[in-house]
């Protein structure tokens, strides 16, 4: 169990912990000064488990040095780097808004998706990435920066309607002190460009990942989804993308062309720069009155989709998440332990399947136990040193499980939910969402 730090990191007072991954922990903090001065910041520290590992220390410092070079409104700024009791930390801009993973989760599969606002958000993302891609060292040589981890979770939208790219922790660049191990994949599976399998990438891999994010936020599902990794990669390598217009009536053809160009298998067939892609997204907004959008429009939309504001007490948010987790845990522990498997018919009735009842009962009981442990971990605030991105992987599987449940495929949804549990998420809201879907599937299977 990872102990919480005392009430401060360096000269920064801790409000609450934002997140944790395999390499680092992040906290929302305050810098207090004379005359009532107070400034909110985000402080990211190297996970104490890795303080004695030179490779992790250097990777953390690489990110800090790289991030400190960036000065763009669409990239979260780094203000300071230091250490506290031998643990390195970096102080970053606090963005008062949600990430896009939270946004798409709150919208749900059937929610309204204003394409103009989404295009405007990603135009900003592309300009931030273009700034990073174009950076040079002190001698004027290109740094060749590639983020490699552009995902919905690494794009934050402030409540003023400005998108910010965060987390350059696994970025590739020429001045990097820590060398990536040969054969080690960097990035999240559902976002990776085909060439990332070979390890040699340039900035166009980031534009591919922008396309994945665009597709996902515009449709509610990833462009490639299959529970078999081999089939998933085959579809990705062959560019087997289902155009959004196939299943969304009235999807704007101009935006579809932009997205599908991002997702081209060959880098030469994609948009070639972040600025070019940003121009195309802005042209879509400005050429159609229906999709016209700006920061004020995005701001109103974000506040509507994620109404929780930063003015709310963080302690109240933590109490709410904890009480929800405890309630869900109680529901799970008190649920019947042996319910026969069932199929939902087109009329909402349940048809028992005696031949598979025993195995289905065992699967459900095992899933309930696993989800209960996840909720308990969220309640107790456990940090298990899992790899960075476990929450993002769990989100992928949870979104797919929700989709399958909505389509009336409870057993397939349950199998996907088991994958979400196996990803070992730690975010309390995500754990609660998993437990709710588990309860929903159990209720649907009840006689």
The domain locations on the chain are 8-93, 100-305, 314-445
Are 23 and 56 spatial neighbours (Cβ–Cβ below 8 Å)?
Answer: yes
| pLDDT tens-digit readout, 42-71 | 999 988 888 888 888 888 888 888 888 899
Give SS3 for 143: coil
Q: Out of 53, 62, 149, 206, which one is annotated catalytic? A: 149
pLDDT attached to residue 272: 96
**Looking at beta carbons, which pairs linking 409-414 to residues 24 or more positions away fall under 8 Å?**
410/342, 410/343, 410/344, 410/441, 410/444, 410/445, 411/341, 411/343, 411/360, 413/437, 413/441, 414/363, 414/364, 414/367, 414/441
pTM score, two decimals?
A: 0.68
Q: Which of 193-202, 341-350, 380-389 has the highest mean pLDDT?
A: 193-202
- pLDDT category of residue 160 using cuts at 50, 70 and 90: very high
Name the token pair of 143: 């740094």
Q: Sort residue 359 into left (φ over 0), alpha (ψ -120 to 50) or beta.
A: alpha
Q: Give pLDDT tens digits for 179-223.
A: 444 334 455 777 889 988 777 789 999 999 999 999 999 999 999
Active site residue 138: no
Can you give the pLDDT at residue 350?
31
Q: How many other C-beta atoms lie within 10 A of the C-beta of residue 268?
A: 7
Assigned architecture for domain 100-305: Orthogonal Bundle (1.10)
Q: Cβ distance 421 to 434 under 8 Å? A: yes
Query: Which of the following CATH numbers is that of domain 8-93: 3.30.470.10, 3.30.300.130, 3.40.50.2020, 3.30.200.20?
Result: 3.30.200.20
Look at residue 256 and tell me whether its pLDDT is greater than 90.
Answer: yes
Is the separation of the CB atoms in 411 and 417 below 8 Å?
Answer: no
- In 3D space, the residue among 262, 255, 259 whose CA is nearest the CA of residue 286 turns out to be 255
SS3 76: coil
Q: Is 42 helix (H, G, I), strand (E, B) or coil?
A: strand
């Amino acid at each position: 169990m990872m102990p919480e730090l005392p009430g401060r990191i360096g000269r920064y007072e801790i409000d609450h912990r934002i997140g944790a991954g395999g390499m680092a922990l992040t906290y929302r903090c305050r810098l207090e000064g004379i005359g009532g001065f107070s400034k909110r910041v985000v402080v990211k520290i190297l996970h104490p488990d890795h303080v004695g590992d030179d490779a992790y220390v250097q990777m953390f410092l690489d990110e800090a040095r790289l991030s400190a070079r960036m000065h763009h409104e669409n990239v979260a700024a780094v203000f300071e780097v230091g250490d506290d009791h031998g643990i390195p930390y970096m102080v970053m801009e606090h963005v008062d808004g949600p990430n896009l993973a939270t946004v798409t989760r709150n919208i749900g599969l059937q929610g309204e998706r204003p394409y103009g606002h989404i295009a405007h958000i990603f135009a900003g993302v592309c300009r931030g990435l273009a700034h990073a891609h174009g950076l040079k060292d002190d001698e004027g040589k290109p740094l060749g920066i590639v983020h490699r981890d552009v995902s919905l979770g690494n794009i934050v939208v402030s409540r003023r309607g400005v998108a910010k790219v965060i987390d350059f922790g696994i970025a590739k660049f020429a001045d990097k002190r820590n060398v990536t191990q040969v054969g080690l994949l960097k990035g999240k599976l559902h976002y990776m460009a085909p060439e990332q399998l070979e390890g040699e990438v340039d900035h166009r891999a980031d534009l591919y990942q922008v396309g994945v994010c665009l597709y996902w936020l515009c449709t509610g599902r990833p462009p490639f989804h299959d529970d078999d990794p081999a089939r998933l990669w085959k579809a990705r390598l062959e560019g087997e993308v289902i155009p959004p217009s196939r299943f969304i009536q009235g999807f704007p053809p101009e935006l579809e062309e932009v997205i599908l160009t991002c997702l081209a298998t060959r880098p030469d067939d994609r948009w070639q720069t972040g600025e070019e892609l940003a121009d195309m997204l802005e042209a879509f907004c400005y050429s159609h009155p229906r999709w016209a959008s700006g920061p004020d429009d995005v701001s109103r939309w974000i506040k509507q989709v994620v109404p929780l504001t930063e003015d709310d007490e963080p302690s109240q948010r933590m109490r709410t998440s904890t009480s929800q987790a405890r309630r869900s845990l109680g529901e799970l522990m008190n649920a019947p332990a042996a319910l026969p498997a069932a199929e939902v018919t087109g009329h909402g009735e349940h048809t028992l399947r005696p031949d598979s009842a025993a195995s289905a009962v065992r699967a459900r009981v095992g899933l309930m136990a696993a989800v209960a442990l996840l909720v308990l971990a969220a309640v107790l605030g456990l940090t298990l040193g899992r790899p960075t991105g476990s929450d993002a992987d769990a989100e992928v599987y949870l979104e797919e499980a929700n989709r399958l449940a909505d389509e009336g495929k409870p057993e397939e949804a349950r199998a996907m939910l088991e994958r979400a549990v196996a990803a070992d998420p730690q975010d309390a809201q995500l754990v609660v969402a998993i437990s709710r879907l588990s309860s929903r599937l159990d209720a649907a299977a009840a006689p």
